[in-house]
A and B are shown apart, each in its own frame.
Chain A
Amino acid sequence: MNSATVRNLLVRGMLAGLGAGVLALIVAYFLGEPNVDSAIGFEESHAAGHEHHEVELVSRGLQSTAGLATGVLIYGVAFGGIAALAFCFALGRVGRFGPRATALLLSGTALLAVYVVPFLKYPANPPAVGDADTIGKRTTLYFLMMVLGVLLAVAAVILGKRLAPRLGTWNATVAAVLGFVLAVGVAYAFLPAVNEVPGDFPAALLWRFRLSALAMQVTLWAGFGLVFGELAERLLHPRPAAVSAGTAVAAPR
């Protein structure tokens, strides 16, 4: 019975992730793509004998539409699934929150842990920024930062739970968040910096690109938290009186 609940939540998480991915895709297409195009324009006007532009394997038209959609939607589904599994674990364990509040809190924490924490140290870069020779190092650092963000967030939650009986919920939460910020700050201080922005790359373009990348993630996670929270609420607390038309998902109890 419980296993079926986990499966149902997982499926809903992936669907909510897909839906949130569509929202993020809209932001990506309208806010992000113009900046990618400008950056590619810069790259081409400065192409002084650098590789990888002789043969175009995938046209720009496809990259900015179908390719973009593939990437963003898979990202949404994958993180939706992972977040749903985390939700199964968090539900009833992090505090006195119902399914919707748990989903939104989880979503906000996920945005912070898997995106904002890595982003502040290793922000998103448009085409033309970044040395091809250091891709291995940059990828390692980026994924390391994501893993670190998640581990530290989990550690902060555990710390908060441990401190709560002694300090009270409010103070324990403040202490746990402070601990998280401190640990992230230490990681920032010790991990190597990456700055491979060409000297003459337009600063305004870089800012707009990074802002649009951030907007995508905020859209994705806010959308996921709200949609998944609603779906989880209906699954776990079906309200027979409110919806009699049979749209409510009847969960086996």
Chain B
Amino acid sequence: MAQHVAQPTTDTPVVPAKLPLKDIAPWAVFFGVLMLVLLYFVGAEQGATAVVSGEDVHEWVHDARHLLGFPCH
């Protein structure tokens, strides 16, 4: 399999072109961080550490946190 050169049959999937790293990087940095912040709020806020005081965030996502596998309390 590995040694075969791609055969141009009609069914052969076209190997997609690589997206240049310099085009991915700005999106990855900005949205990557944003997504991680979201995960932090679902997974850990007002559990081990807290940015917002109180228990509201923790209590609101309580069931999701348990079922998604995060340590809750």
Contact = CB atoms under 8 A, between A and B. Distances in A.
Contact of B56 (A57, A98, A123, A212): A57
Nearest to B64: A71
For the side of the interface on A, what is the size category? 35 or more
Contact of B28 (A62, A67, A85, A170): A85
A219 to B, nearest CB: 12
Contact of A6 (B24, B42, B59): B24
A245 B59 CA distance: 47
B23 A3 contact: yes
Given A33-B63, A58-B60, A91-B19, A139 B47 contact: yes
B63 A77 contact: no
Interface residues of B, number: 49
Interface in A38-97: 52, 57-58, 62-64, 67-72, 74-75, 77-79, 81-82, 85, 88-89, 91-93, 96-97
A92 B18 contact: yes
A20 to B, nearest CB: 13
Contacts of B70: 124, 139, 142
B16 A98 contact: yes
A216 B24 contact: no
Contact of A130 (B17, B19, B39, B73): B73
Given A10-B31, A78-B39, A85-B31, A124 B69 contact: yes
B71 A85 contact: no
A168 interface: yes
A88 B72 contact: no
A218 to B, nearest CB: 12
Given A6-B24, A91-B18, A98-B13, A212 B48 contact: no
A142 B71 contact: yes
Nearest to A83: B35
Given A2-B23, A135-B73, A142-B71, A67 B63 contact: yes
Interface of A: 2-3, 5-7, 10, 28, 32-33, 36, 52, 57-58, 62-64, 67-72, 74-75, 77-79, 81-82, 85, 88-89, 91-93, 96-99, 101-102, 115, 118-119, 122-127, 130, 132, 135-136, 138-140, 142-143, 164, 168-170, 212-213, 216-217, 236-237
9 contacts: A3-B27, A6-B23, A57-B55, A57-B59, A71-B65, A81-B31, A97-B15, A99-B16, A135-B73
Given A92-B19, A98-B16, A124-B66, 4 more contacts: A63-B62, A75-B42, A236-B16, A237-B16
